[in-house]
Amino acid sequence: MSDRTSVESVSSTQPRQNTKSDSTTPLGGGTPAPAASPKRASRVRPADAIFRGLSTGSAIFIMVILAGVALFLIVQGMPAIVANWQSNPELNDGFTSAFDSFWAYVGPLLFGTLWSAAIALVLGAPIGIGIALFISHYAPRRLAGLLGYVVDLLAAVPSVVFGLWGIIVIRPFLLPLSDWLNTYLGWIPIFGGQVTTTGSTILAGAVVLAVMILPIITSISREIFLQTPRLHEEAALALGATRWEMVRLAVFPYAKSGIVSATLLGLGRALGETMAIAMIISPAVIVSFLVVTEGQNSQTIAANIALNFPIASTLQRQALIGTGLLLFVVSLAVNMIARSIVSRGSSKTGGKKKARPKPLVVPTGDATSTLTRDLVADKNTAAGPEGASA
Amino acid sequence: MTALSPRTVEKGPVPNSLTTGQLPRFAELYIFGASAVVSGVLLMLIGFDVIGWLVLSAVVYLVLLGILSSLVENRRKAVDRLVRGLVTVAFLLAIIPLVSTLFTVVSKGIGALSFQFITQTGGSAFNPDTLEVTNTPGALQAIVGTLIITGIATLISVPIGLFTSIYLVEYGRPGQWLSRTVTFLVDVMTGIPSIVAGLFAFSLFTIILGPKAFSGFSASVALSVLMIPTVVRACEEMLRLVPHDLREASYALGVSKFATIVRIVLPTAIAGIVTGIMLAIARVIGETAPIFMAASFTDNFNSNPFEGPMQTLPVMAYTGFAFPGTDITASNNSAWGAALLLVILVVILNLIARVIAKVFAPKGSR
């Protein structure tokens, strides 16, 4: 490391005294050094300045990108949003012909987006949280990491593959269930209507969506569950609580905000998912709560764009971009709420964190740190939570 | 001697409040076996079906366990056992789609996969003399397109993402508004719907180049929007793992900040950074909607990312189903072939990432 340092100092403009071994002349080395050293301390090297500028620039560029996404969508979407949908010949043709205005067109689509995401969330969120609980508190310690990896693999499967799987496997698989729901629970409005024969229902789409949002819900809830203070859990167990009572009394209260935001992030993912819906359901741009019919499934914004984009004319494309802008705004809002809940939760529990022994564990694995860890652990157990937090 | 003997005679478990009133140790296994048999027999009467059998055994198991436990033990323990069962079932429920998806893709796609499929440009050719349309299966144009588009997206996102994470870890102070805002925006950006990224790229290039500006580069821009936040998060996490002692030792030797970051911090974290980038690539390589918007689709071979539509594997899988050619079975087959190739690519990327993480992991930190 030391010769790296000397190389660095040679490459900078002022040669140091201790680099005499280099080819720089030893003659002038002695005299300028005392005068130069305070000057050098205050001066920023050019490489440093450039590097700092590059990093800061990239950070600012991220903001520019996000602003750019919004800006270009607005610029491209505006002509269709303000256009007169009743008289414009381009919009009176094809898939936009039946609508009086942009809002009449986007309303049902927005409803369909929220409705399918809601069904997916109802199906997926409890299972996702259950898996997180299984991995963090029920599975054998040694298996937990592997099981977490298996669930993460679900996130790696491309959405188009899930779409194909939905067509081939889920549609026929759900047919008997749809029949059953329609026959016996048809009096509940959402299961009513003409039952499907092909299986291209919003229910099938939502089941695939639910599978796709499982990994994100699971990984975030798992992380939060694992952060529960050990002492809280052990206190609950020591008082004679069963494992479930421990989870209910110690883990859930601690992880409440984390669960909420994990669910919201799952919602955000479900809102923007395109391919599963576009490939599976047979849609209509209507407001419909029916889940086991075909032709009466509410279309979602994303799937509608994917299906109509290739056949659209210029102004229709702009209308689709307008709907995309709305989707962007909605999912941005959902994500912002979720993230602010997470960060609020973590800053609130920041004080609590000191009470748990985990952060006191010194991560580096050399001998001194092992010693420190033992010392810290001893002090921690001796003093109890008050001592550790002090 | 005689007085002591009665004490030693008593062997075996002593009945007390801690050991009585409990189900035997492997009760859950016994009950699961019993419920599997019972539901199997029940289903034999109606008509056997693997999925129905699994579902029924799970239900029977949960009910039996709940009843037995509440009879022998108490209500609290019964609830505990029930929740354990439910949570396990939830996990198994997540495994089913994973296994089923992979099985379906492999079994459907393996037929389409051949050396010819990988090395030949597919599509249909119309012969005007015989009025016949001949379909050649092939995915070369899609493989090349996927690699080019993802490659350019990586070239765009990695520098931006890496520099941003360096800013967040090395230069930004936690309380500063810029680093706080950027952290928040990166988090929010991970939730941008992929189709919106596609629309953004389409709008951008339509405004700059005029209508019909489909190109591979435009798709790369769309993918970069999705990839940058993932890269930033992964790199940031890894840079934060670099011990502060290393940086301070370097500063103490008079090394500049730039040299410290380039020579000390980055080499220490490089394995994790490469792993994160690999996983980010694996994430965007399967994106369909944005590429479909920005690069459209084609059957022609096009290796110039700056002009004309470009085919990619995910779009090929989608269009093979959504807009099949004259021969529907052939289109579907090549769609499955493309899907299998895509899954293979993703798995390879994931494996490489894991291997790098395992082999080059800094010793002792994990």
**Mode of pairing for the β-strands spanning B123-127 and B132-136:** antiparallel
A203: tokens are 């229910």
Residues near A288 by Cβ (< 8 Å), separated by ≥ 6? A296, A297, A298
Specify if B100 maps to a domain. Answer: yes
Q: What is the DSSP string of A140-162?
A: -HHHHHHHHHHHHHHHHS-HHHH
Specify if B292 maps to a domain. Answer: yes
Nearest CA-CA distance, residue B283 and chain A, Å: 6
Residues near A29 by Cβ (< 8 Å), separated by ≥ 6? A15, A17, A20
Flag if A335 and B188 touch (Cβ within 8 Å): yes
Flag if A61 and B160 touch (Cβ within 8 Å): yes
Residues near A287 by Cβ (< 8 Å), separated by ≥ 6? A107, A108, A111, A112, A298
Flag if B87 and A363 touch (Cβ within 8 Å): no
Specify if B7 maps to a domain. Answer: no
Q: Count of H helices and E strands in chain B? A: 15, 2
Residues 310-329 of chain B with CB under 8 A from chain A are 314, 317-318, 321-323
Specify if B10 maps to a domain. Answer: no
Structural domain containing residue B52? 27-109
Whether the per-residue pLDDT at B141 is higher than 90: the answer is no
Q: Is residue B254 located within the same domain as residue B141?
A: yes
More confident residue, A380 or B80: B80
A230: tokens are 């050990």
- For chain A, strand residue ranges (E) read 283-284, 297-298
Q: Is residue B262 located within the same domain as residue B318?
A: yes
Nearest CA-CA distance, residue A4 and chain B, Å: 9
Q: Are B315 and B288 in contact (CB under 8 A)?
A: yes
Confidence band for B6, pLDDT divided at 50, 70 and 90: low
Dihedral (Cα; B50, A213, B227, A256), 10-degree rounding:
-140
**B210 contacts in chain A (CB < 8 Å):** none
Flag if A321 and B335 touch (Cβ within 8 Å): no
Rg (CA), chain A: 30
A263: tokens are 């669910």
**Mode of pairing for the β-strands spanning B132-136 and A283-284:** unpaired
Q: Are A84 and A173 in contact (CB under 8 A)?
A: no
Specify if B2 maps to a domain. Answer: no
Structural domains in chain A, sorted by start: 100-347 (1.10.3720.10)
B68: tokens are 């037995």
In this prediction, residue B26 carries a pLDDT of 76
Residues 8-37 of chain B with CB under 8 A from chain A are none
Q: What is the CATH classification number for the domain harbouring B318?
A: 1.10.3720.10
Q: Are B214 and B294 in contact (CB under 8 A)?
A: yes
For the segment B159-207, what is each residue's pLDDT rounded down to a tens digit?
Answer: 999 999 999 998 888 778 888 889 889 988 888 899 999 999 988 888 8
**B249 contacts in chain A (CB < 8 Å):** 1
The residue with tokens 């039952």 is A195
More confident residue, B12 or B191: B191
Q: Are B317 and B338 in contact (CB under 8 A)?
A: yes
B134 SS3 class:
strand
For the segment B332-343, what is each residue's pLDDT rounded down to a tens digit?
Answer: 888 888 899 999
Specify if B349 maps to a domain. Answer: yes
B162: tokens are 């890496």
Q: Is residue B170 located within the same domain as residue B81?
A: no
Mean pLDDT of all residues in B75-85 = 85
pLDDT above 70 coverage of chain B, percent: 88
**A306 contacts in chain B (CB < 8 Å):** 195, 289, 292-293
Whether the per-residue pLDDT at B286 is higher than 90: the answer is no
Specify if B121 maps to a domain. Answer: no
Does the structure's ipTM exceed the value 0.90? Answer: no
In this prediction, residue A131 carries a pLDDT of 92
Flag if A62 and B182 touch (Cβ within 8 Å): yes
A137: tokens are 């508190």
Q: Are B31 and B63 in contact (CB under 8 A)?
A: no
Q: Is residue B211 located within the same domain as residue B62?
A: no
Nearest CA-CA distance, residue B157 and chain A, Å: 10
In this prediction, residue B131 carries a pLDDT of 64
Q: Is residue B190 located within the same domain as residue B315?
A: yes
Task: Please count the residue pairs, one from chain A and one from chain B, whose beta carbons lie less than 8 angstroms apart.
Answer: 298
Residues 115-144 of chain B with CB under 8 A from chain A are none
Q: Is residue B157 located within the same domain as residue B300?
A: yes
d(C-alpha B322, C-alpha B152), whole Å: 27
User: In the Cβ-directed half-sphere of A8, how many Cα atoms lie within 13 Å?
Assistant: 21
The residue in chain A having the minimum alpha-carbon distance to the alpha carbon of residue B278 is A156
How much is the mean pLDDT over chain B? 83
- CB count in 10 Å sphere of residue B194: 26
Phi, psi of B87 (to 5 degrees): -65, -40
For the segment B230-239, what is each residue's pLDDT rounded down to a tens digit?
Answer: 999 999 988 9
d(C-alpha A163, C-alpha A274), whole Å: 9
d(C-alpha A161, C-alpha A165), whole Å: 6
Q: Is residue B281 located within the same domain as residue B145?
A: yes
A178: tokens are 């749809």
Q: Is residue B164 located within the same domain as residue B203?
A: yes
Short-list B309, B224, B288, CA closest to A303: B288
Give the one of B166, B186, B254 whose C-beta lies nearest to A62's C-beta. B186
**B102 contacts in chain A (CB < 8 Å):** 157
Flag if B185 and A63 touch (Cβ within 8 Å): yes
In this prediction, residue A324 carries a pLDDT of 92
Please give the distance of CA A237 from its chain centroid, rounded to a whole number.
33
Q: What is the DSSP string of A78-124?
A: HHHHHS-TTT-TTTTSGGGTT-SSHHHHHHHHHHHHHHHHHHHHHHH
Give the one of A164, A327, A364 whose C-beta lies nearest to B317's C-beta. A164
Flag if A365 and B364 touch (Cβ within 8 Å): yes
**A126 contacts in chain B (CB < 8 Å):** 90
Q: Is residue B92 located within the same domain as residue B192?
A: no
Rg (CA), chain B: 30
Whether the per-residue pLDDT at B228 is higher than 90: the answer is yes
Counting the structural domains of chain B, the total is 2
d(C-alpha A165, C-alpha A148), whole Å: 23
Nearest CA-CA distance, residue A280 and chain B, Å: 10
Q: Is residue B340 located within the same domain as residue B247?
A: yes
Specify if B21 maps to a domain. Answer: no
pTM of the model: 0.79
Give the one of A56, A150, A161 whose C-beta lies nearest to B105's C-beta. A161
In this prediction, residue B163 carries a pLDDT of 93
Residues of chain A with pLDDT under 70: 1-44, 345-390
Phi, psi of B12 (to 5 degrees): 80, 180
Alpha helices in B110-189 (DSSP H): 115-119, 140-166, 177-189
